[in-house]
Chain A
């Protein structure tokens, strides 16, 4: 399959990108690393009139480190993070998760903003960033808005992206010194889409205890206060039946699917306990 005939634009700043988006309306698609949109174009699952390539916008590759966290430009690649070109304010979690995304060839081009906007439930960033309490900043004609990363994902392949808006950055809070995190995903093979993900962050200094069940059918299941499920993040306090019940209550009907998600979270917690 080959894409339909489309126009291509490569704006050099966000303002130009936004005006192109406003002019073209819904027939425009924003492309960054093209690791998801590329195949979708080829399969003609998307048939845009205009493709706006944002990879040459310098401000989307900016990284700004602050005492309370870091802001990562939308076009930062997984490999940028994996290779440590982006400071890891999350005690190694960002590098570790980046390293496990798909294959290196995908990581070289795929971007953090693209991954979140594509909103594939089995993707890594949505689950880990939700556990970290990260947020995304969107810019549109009406200005900027910042929302929690888990709210940005509305459902499978559906992001809360209003007409004319562009995701510009992702903000990750800095973990405290005593913080622990865990991340565990189940894949049929290396680099393949995950079929269950568990993630947790326990940060006593900030009073954070978050657990996320990812790679569901839709949005990840985010538990903002997970102390009743994972205690202080040691494996001994993991309440498997309660996690199973939570998954069931969230619509996960299939017992085997629930089991794998419970196991993924249990192993994430175990990983956190040993970190």
Chain B
């Protein structure tokens, strides 16, 4: 490590502009003649659209589905057998299927004036019964969203791996566990600025996107354009978490409008649109049974899981990725012999469900880890003892689990042991026996997960969604002054890639990271990529940059050898220079010769110069498996239901860390979101499908006083198949907190006989659980 390379906690190069307020987000872009767009959205969850009344005075400033002839709906099909296709219209024409669905777009010189226009437009809607409860939606006789389906199920999956063998287990516990519908909440909402570039004959669309190339592909298909006619620019992005991995109807509307109007147009999502019409995630229901022996050995898991997929299959991840993943990852980091799981992806009159940091893992971890604590209680064991009985052991690695997930490496029990020691389990148990002077109840809870990251072609080909990641490409190119440009198709929405990918290139080439420029977020300048999602940036783009940088190193070494009049086999590249048997030449000197003094090069010089675009895949593309043990200590006030997190320990193994400081930041951020899932965030709907929160006064997010500083410890088990041994870990912090906090809450409530099995664990749910236990109805 040279202080800048892989493993260095280099300062974030992005922060200078961000901390000075000089970041450039979509909302900062000003184009001459730009007009603002406001949408007329459906006020009803489910209705027949009879017509749209537009006053003559504003007719030229309002556009409806009738104007969008030839624009195709958004279709995200899964290749899984039985999947039913939905068509998400860009603007509604015959029906609306969610509150907030787009009906018309209105333009004005300012957003306020566009809203004035929108206020004069009337949608003639005939209300239909709304489908708001995913379990009721599965039942015969439910109202239907997509009538020709005959039911409301996007996809049903079923797997049975010898579950009967578990039926004679002495411990059998069944519970219903559920997680709320949430809204992922990046600081920056969605937004799009679009214009038609006459010179380039190209639609240019600025949008904060995690995956600009995927947006280009999807947008071009919907608008009927060649992909060379579309350029997506994703400038600075103020958080994504999955929400900015989605092609929205708004993007297509703006693209169409820019071509139609001949001037730039802009739509900036406001928080009400974001909460009520755009960002939905996470709503799961589990009917789960766990079979175990008296010593805590797991015999089998039997589960029926339902996911509320909302009205449409969103692009590109589809309506079924969440539920289908539930089936494949529910077994967690454990080794047990029998498993059965049935899942339903159910259509309801809500926003489409979108992938949110951790995707299905957060719900799965909550369901499974809560059940393991119940097993411990039933068996009279400490919860950690049940984990120790069943965790995959280090000597089993690499390990193919019951659903054929290939756990690449690690020591799961060691992570748990370290976390328990840091959390002082013995001390907490003693404190519980003493009792608290203020009458609160103390509880400690653990949760463990492993996180598949950077899973590639073989995994996604199986899902069959519109996007399958292949080789990840990067371009590395020396500049005439000895600097380096990197071009990657992933995009940072907060991951510090300008810093960390420069560190990777520095590791290979020794060029100072301040002289390495990362170009990303623009389809015009970067190689195709599926983008930033699934904890893949460090593994895939990191690997691609390393590969491309190595090729540049090889090319530079050859030129260097010529300049040193040495045999190429005798030279080495280190610290930014090529060393031969008798002297050295810097990369800057080599670049100078290649670009500016070609007369000094031999005729046989490799014409590729000092530039390489190369694709990269890990040795196995089944994904890296980072993992962590979380231990929460909480105090529950049994009179008010309030929960305070007293202490929180995370022991994380992300393989080799490119930049430990950046990793810590990732974990802190995920942890904060995990607390939101555990205790605060919930998007409720009434029986008519109306979302009940439209501001952050109603949709609660944790703030600084709700997020204590976790104690963070690292293990670094190198991944066997990736460059440098890096593992993906971007989502992990958000996965375990609901489970760890939930187990701690239930541990605290144990003396009262109460259990909370629903997140978020609100004061009301805690009090209801206590009351139910008191009344014997638990």
> Is there contact, CB below 8 Å, between B680 and A256?
no
753-778 of chain B: CB within 8 A of chain A: 762-764, 767-768, 771
Contact status B270-A256, CB under 8 Å: no
Min CB gap A110→B, angstroms: 14
Q: Does A3 contact B (CB under 8 A)?
A: yes
Which residue of the partner chain A has the closest CB to B697? Answer: A193
Which A residues are CB-close (under 8 A) to B697? 192-193
Q: What B residues does A190 contact at CB under 8 A?
A: 703, 705-706
Asked if B767 contacts A256 (CB within 8 A), the reply is: yes
In the complex, are the beta carbons of B767 and A186 less than 8 A apart?
no
In this assembly, does B2 line the interface, its C-beta being within 8 Å of a C-beta of chain A? no
Interface string of A187-219 (1 = CB under 8 A from B): 011111101000000000000000000000000
Is B260 an interface residue, CB under 8 A from the partner? no
**Size of the chain B interface, CB-CB below 8 angstroms:** 27
Q: In whole angstroms, how far apart are the Cα atoms of A192 and B696 in the complex?
A: 10
| A260 cross-chain contacts in B, Cβ below 8 A | 640-641, 763, 767
Contact A3 B771 (CB under 8 A): no
Chain A residues near B694 (CB-CB < 8 A): 43
CB<8 Å pairs between A and B, sample of 20: A1-B270, A4-B116, A5-B112, A43-B272, A44-B115, A188-B680, A188-B762, A188-B763, A189-B700, A189-B703, A192-B697, A192-B700, A255-B771, A256-B764, A256-B767, A256-B771, A259-B639, A260-B640, A260-B641, A260-B763
| Residue B702 interfacial (CB < 8 Å) | yes
- Chain A residue nearest in CB terms to B642: A186
Most chain A CB within a 10 A radius of its CB, from B111, B641, B762: B641
> How many Å from the CB of A184 to the closest CB on chain B?
10
Question: What's the least CB distance linking B532 to chain A, in Å?
Answer: 30
A39 within 8 A of B: yes
Which 8 A-B pairs rank lowest in CB-CB distance, beginning with the nearest? A2-B112, A190-B705, A263-B639, A256-B767, A189-B706, A2-B111, A1-B270, A186-B640
Contact across chains for B700 and A5 when beta carbons are under 8 A apart? no
Task: Count how many chain A residues have C-beta atoms less than 8 Å from C-beta atoms of the other chain.
Answer: 21
Contact of A186 among B705, B763, B768 (CB under 8 A): B763
**Which partner residue on chain B sits nearest A47 by CB separation?**
B119
A192 nearest in chain B by CB position: B700
Would you give the shortest CB distance from B254 to chain A, in whole angstroms? 18
* B99: min CB distance to chain A, Å: 15
Asked whether B767 lies within 8 Å of A259 as measured between CB atoms, the reply is yes
Indicate if B458 sits at the interface (CB-CB under 8 A). Answer: no
Contact A1 B640 (CB under 8 A): no
Specify which of A1, A4, A39 lies most central, judged by the most chain B CB atoms within 10 Å of its CB: A1
A256–B764 CA distance with the chains assembled, in angstroms: 7
B122 within 8 A of A: no
Closest to A2 in B: B112
Chain A stretch 211-267: residues in CB contact (< 8 A) with chain B: 255-256, 259-260, 263
In the assembled complex, the CB of A215 is this many whole angstroms from the nearest CB of chain B, namely: 13
In the complex, chain B residues whose CB is within 8 Å of the CB of A188: 680, 700, 762-763
Contacts of B680 in A (CB 8 A): 188-189
* A:157-211 near B, CB below 8 Å: 186, 188-193, 195
Closest chain-B Cβ to A270's Cβ sits at a distance in Å of 11
Report the bound CA distance from A251 to B764 in whole Å: 19
Residue of B nearest to A255 (CB): B771
Judging by beta carbons under 8 Å apart, are A263 and B771 in contact? Answer: no
C-alpha gap A255/B764 in the complex (Å): 11
The distance in angstroms between the C-alpha atoms of A192 and B700, with both chains bound, is: 9
Query: Would you call A191 and B767 a contact (CB within 8 A)?
Result: no
Give the chain B neighbours of A1 by CB distance below 8 A: 115, 270, 272
CA distance in complex: A260, B763 (Å): 9
New contact pairs (14) apart from A43-B272, A189-B680, A260-B640, CB-CB < 8 Å: A1-B272, A5-B112, A43-B694, A43-B695, A190-B705, A190-B706, A191-B705, A192-B700, A193-B697, A255-B771, A256-B764, A256-B767, A256-B771, A260-B641
- Residues in B with CB closer than 8 Å to A193 are 697
Residues of A within 8 A of B767 (CB): 256, 259-260
- Cβ of B110 under 8 Å from chain A: yes
Known: A189-B702, A193-B697. A5 touches B642 (CB 8 A): no
List which B634-685 residues lie within 8 A (CB) of chain A.
Answer: 639-642, 680
> Across the interface, which residues of B come within 8 angstroms of A44, CB to CB?
115, 119
Distance from B707 Cβ to chain A, minimum over Cβ atoms (Å): 10
Whole-angstrom distance from the CB of A134 to the nearest CB of chain B? 26
CB closest chain-B residue, reference A193: B697
Q: Are A263 and B640 in contact, CB atoms less than 8 angstroms apart?
A: yes
- Chain A stretch 1-26: residues in CB contact (< 8 A) with chain B: 1-5
In Å, the complex CA distance between A191 and B702 comes to: 11
**Chain B: minimal CB distance from A45 (Å):** 10
Q: Residues of B contacting A4 with CB < 8 Å?
A: 112, 116
